[in-house]
Amino acid sequence: MAEQKKWKWADDPNLNKMELTKLEKDGLDVIETIVNTYSKEGYASIEPSDFDRFKWAGIYQQRPKDGHFMMRVRIPGGILTSRQARTLAGIAKDYGRDLVDVTTRQAVQFHWLTVESLADIFSRLSEVGLSSFEACGDCPRTIVGNPLAGIDPHEVLDTRPIIKELEQFFLLNRDFSNLPRKYKMSISANVYNAAHAQINDLAFTPAKKTIGGEEVVGFHVWVGGGLSAKPYLAQQLDVFCRPEEVVKVAAGVTTLFRDFGYRQKRTHARLKFLVADWGAEKFREELVKLTGPLETRGEDLLKGWNAGYFYGLHEQRQKGFYYAGLSVPVGRMDADELSELARLADEYGDGTIGTCNSQNVLIRHIPEEKLEAFRAEPLIATRFKLAPQTFVGYAVSCTGIEYCNLAVVETKERMRSLAEYLDQTVALDTPLRIHMVGCPNSCGQRQIADIGLQGALVKTPNGMVDAFDIYVGGTLEEARFNQKLKARITADELGPFLAQLIAIYKEERQAGEPYWRYVERVGLEAIQRQVDSILQTA
């Protein structure tokens, strides 16, 4: 066990309870304890204070805290190899009741794990270059990126080497293992904002600048984004970052969060609150004290927003090769399906699989002559479709009450069945993104959805029942979060309610008008009148 660092905030008398727990023992120390003690002596041997530290191993207690655990595995940049995929499938089959989830941060999530299985899982992951460590906890989490990096015709440089360097720098780095709260990074050189820059604590997006007479391609830097109960859009710093400066800048931003972030209240501890208080100008001034001089902003190369959807077969940068964007309904698959994806990646592609922040997957580098055979593969034709139906294809869901201790309603199966109902009820020829979350933490990123559904409970004559608050108009195209309507709809009424609301949009929209743009055009008051009319006639 490493010696505990003496941090500058350690003597603050107003530290919250979790901060005191972290001062007693660094979160990373629990990994050794899990391997050497808990995995051998069982669930009953776990020291209660270590349950919080399990997050640094990438592990949460699974609802209802009966001895089972959920684990997240980091997939840096959203690209994994077929060998890694087979290892993940084997873990799910041996220990996770065959269940595999793809998350909105491109990670893979297991359920039903026991503490006795964890040492073997850690070992299997390590053998193929994967890790669950720091996928959760108050530390730098999975680095989100472009799952098409290296083959993307819409990227200005290949970010895979940079993500690898970032991952190696931050993973298990005890200088940054005790941050005030969770800390999320993204980096992409895709001009359509493939890594959702505005909702990350720290993000790098493509830019260019003429320096010394030479045009340099690099990044602009964003700080202070985040969702949960009080969402903030990230602010862009007046910084142009060369590719070789990314790690230095990331270390500087993370150091500022570590040393100046708030540690008195957990609900006020994210970087977004510090950035909101300081402002972008002061934040840059403090950053340069750590990094040395940085270039001012150059030309922004962002052109729009891809919300993480790549359906169909598309030409790559490499002539004669294609990538396949596949639909994984609400991000859930079984172990055999993941193994089959690995086979498809080897047989048709270059042995890599992309995980998307829309909870879907990609097969990369398919030669043109193999496309027809690929289309005919049973998994592609029947389950992970190249052209899914509208609502199933654009449905996102968090884990929900099935496994999560924070959720108040069930979400995964409910979102899947809701999407199928809408596909059977409303014929819509344009994407409409619906995100369902079980609590305000918003792992399903409901704030950026066309329609966001947030779980709640409502009292009825028959007792408390599941219900959903409705939010409309979210996007990162012209970044804004969706807005809450005055309506709490019970779960059994949700399908018919949304079908009517979407039917009005279908009737009133302009040509090619996405739902978020429609909400912007007609206004929230008009949408509220639609809602009131639907409820009055129900």
Catalytic residues: 72, 181-182, 438, 443-444
- Whether 341 and 363 have beta carbons less than 8 Å apart is answered as yes
Q: Which residue has the tokens 């972290």?
A: 22
Interhelix angle 246-260/271-278, rounded to 10 degrees, is 90
Give every CB contact of residue 152 below 8 A, 6+ residues apart in sequence: 146, 190, 316, 317
Q: How far apart are CA 246 and CA 162, in angstroms?
A: 8
Closest listed residue to residue 411, CA positions, set 456, 470, 450: 456
Q: Which residue has the tokens 């007479």?
A: 213
Helices and strands per DSSP (H, E), number in the chain: 18, 20
Residue 463, phi-psi category: left (phi > 0), alpha (psi -120 to 50), beta (remainder): left
Give every CB contact of residue 469 below 8 A, 6+ residues apart in sequence: 453, 454, 456, 484, 485, 487, 488
Q: How far apart are CA 483 and CA 300, in angstroms?
A: 28
Q: What is the DSSP string of 38-93?
A: IHHH-GGG--TTHHHHGGGGTEEEPTTTSS-EEEEEB-GGGEEEHHHHHHHHHHHH
Q: How far apart are CA 429 and CA 391, in angstroms?
A: 10
Give every CB contact of residue 296 below 8 A, 6+ residues apart in sequence: 238, 239, 240
From edge to edge, which strands make up the β-sheet containing 451-460?
395-397, 434-437, 451-460, 463-472, 483-490
Pairing of strands 235-241, 332-334: unpaired
